[in-house]
Structure 1
Amino acid sequence: MADYTYRQAKSADPKAPLFVVFHGTGGDENQFFELASELLPGARIIAPRGDVSEGGALRYFKRTAEGVYDMADLALRTTQMIAFVAARKAESEPAAVIGLGYSNGANILAAAQFAAPDLFDASVLMHPLIPFTPPLADFSGRRVLITAGQRDPICPAPLSQRLADYFTAQGAQTGLFWHPGGHELRPEELRETQSFLAPWRA
């Protein structure tokens, strides 16, 4: 199992949701930590730091170009991340395991879901880019929210739509929220995320 460096906010309630948040390229475990506590107060928050460096920018897996992934490395890092999240889950008795990731963080979160559909009860994938065909999986009873920019130059809109269609076809309760901008996070998608997470708020 990868020994990720991570930041944690413990909850007094052992059954509090486990909220795992994944940063984007160039971020770290602090990027969304405070936001996570605002989105899901009372949750046990875990924020792992990506352990791949791309010119000094932290990521969760290697790539050879924009949108061109090192698939062998992605498979390895996905296995490691699944083991990491499973170990954190075993430390308490969470009522739910929820993931949130942005850009590269959304990509490793989605990859973990493809490989272990039962690990996350719900996920928020912000501006994901999945340029490959995911495997068949059973996401019945799972909830997924994808947020995307209609003019995102990094994550083309057709691929965001294709990912949403995939989760729907595999049985997930799927939402797709668009904003009119690009790859940046906007207040309206954060409000949509907050609404999506409402069932697990303390």
Structure 2
Amino acid sequence: MATIELSRDHGYVHRVKSGAQGQPIFFVLHGTGGDENQFFEFGSDLIPDATIISPRGDVSEYGAARFFKRTGEGVYDMADLARATEKFAGFVSALKAEHQASEVIGLGFSNGANILANVLIEKGRLFDKAVLMHPLIPFAPKDNPTLKGVDVLITAGRTDPIGPARVTQALADYLAAQGATVELDWHDGGHEIRRSEIEAVERFLK
């Protein structure tokens, strides 16, 4: 039986379930106001044999946990985003080595999707697969050819007021232009997670 524990190693408070040696390591990242519990069981259900890592964002916005600061809705503190990207990339690298993982997979929702997306933009092949649920990257990313071969699923709502459809499409187009394999799954709602996108995630990770 796998052991589930709460750890403070490597810079984040996080829940961890150790998987079988040689299996993937799966990072699941909450949205603003969530915590390490939000997607932990979901991650375990999606890839049962993987090592599951669910960190808590290290920034507090009026008591709501986030992975980096912002100055307003959709307006990022770019210096803190850079700090958070380097910190999270180091966290991923350390735990991949510690668990001798065969591949690195990430899943994030909203703010969790945004930090995951920026790690992809900056670090390329640090992740082999990534699920970005309702991401928002409101700037033009730099080219990164090391994204070639990364598998990415983006799920989004066509009427999402937080992550507008045109910005979501621009992120998908950017990733594809860098050589990533990109799937984009839409529903007709807003920023909520719907059953159809959960099904898309399940298909993507099989």
Report the 3-state secondary structure (helix = DSSP H, G, I; strand = E; otherwise coil) of the residue aligned with 1:91.
helix
CA distance in structure 2 between the aligned counterparts of 1:39 and 1:148, rounded to whole angstroms: 19
CA distance in structure 1 between the aligned counterparts of 2:27 and 2:137, rounded to whole angstroms: 20
8 Å CA contact 2:10, 2:94 repeated in 1: no
CA distance in structure 2 between the aligned counterparts of 1:72 and 1:175, rounded to whole angstroms: 30
Could you say which residue in structure 1 is the equivalent of 2:104? Answer: 97
Deviation at 1:93, TM superposition (A): 2.1
Deviation at 1:115, TM superposition (A): 1.2
1:62 maps to 2:78: no
Report the 3-state secondary structure (helix = DSSP H, G, I; strand = E; otherwise coil) of the residue aligned with 1:116.
helix
1:128 maps to 2:135: yes
More helix by share: 2
Give the fraction of aligned pairs with identical amino acids, expressed as a percent: 57
Deviation at 1:127, TM superposition (A): 0.1
CA distance in structure 2 between the aligned counterparts of 1:83 and 1:107, rounded to whole angstroms: 17
8 Å CA contact 1:60, 1:104 repeated in 2: yes
Q: 2:191 aligns with which of 167, 183, 191?
A: 183
Could you say which residue in structure 1 is the equivalent of 2:86? Answer: 79
Deviation at 1:169, TM superposition (A): 0.3
Residue segments in structure 2 that go unaligned for 5+ positions in a row = 1-8
8 Å CA contact 1:2, 1:81 repeated in 2: no
Deviation at 1:92, TM superposition (A): 2.2
Deviations 1:42-85 (A, max 9, x none): 11000010010000000000000000000001001110000011
1:151 maps to 2:151: no
Name which structure has the greater RCO, CA cutoff 8 Å, separation 6+. 1
Report the 3-state secondary structure (helix = DSSP H, G, I; strand = E; otherwise coil) of the residue aligned with 1:61.
coil
CA distance in structure 2 between the aligned counterparts of 1:92 and 1:70, rounded to whole angstroms: 33
1:146 maps to amino acid: I
CA distance in structure 1 between the aligned counterparts of 2:121 and 2:188, rounded to whole angstroms: 28
Structure 1's consecutive aligned runs of 4 or more residues displaced over 6 angstroms after TM superposition are none
Q: 1:51 aligns with which of 43, 58, 76?
A: 58
1:140 maps to 2:148: yes
CA distance in structure 2 between the aligned counterparts of 1:86 and 1:60, rounded to whole angstroms: 17
8 Å CA contact 1:21, 1:45 repeated in 2: yes
CA distance in structure 2 between the aligned counterparts of 1:29 and 1:80, rounded to whole angstroms: 17
Could you say which residue in structure 1 is the equivalent of 2:203? Answer: 195
Deviations 1:12-44 (A, max 9, x none): x21111000110000000000001111111110
Residue segments in structure 1 that go unaligned for 5+ positions in a row = none
Deviations 1:101-136 (A, max 9, x none): 000000000111111102100100000000011110
CA distance in structure 2 between the aligned counterparts of 1:3 and 1:158, rounded to whole angstroms: 35
Report the 3-state secondary structure (helix = DSSP H, G, I; strand = E; otherwise coil) of the residue aligned with 1:147.
strand
1:135 maps to amino acid: K
TM-score, length basis structure 1: 0.96
CA distance in structure 2 between the aligned counterparts of 1:147 and 1:46, rounded to whole angstroms: 21
Q: CA RMSD in A?
A: 1.0
2:51 maps to amino acid: R
Deviation at 1:2, TM superposition (A): 6.0
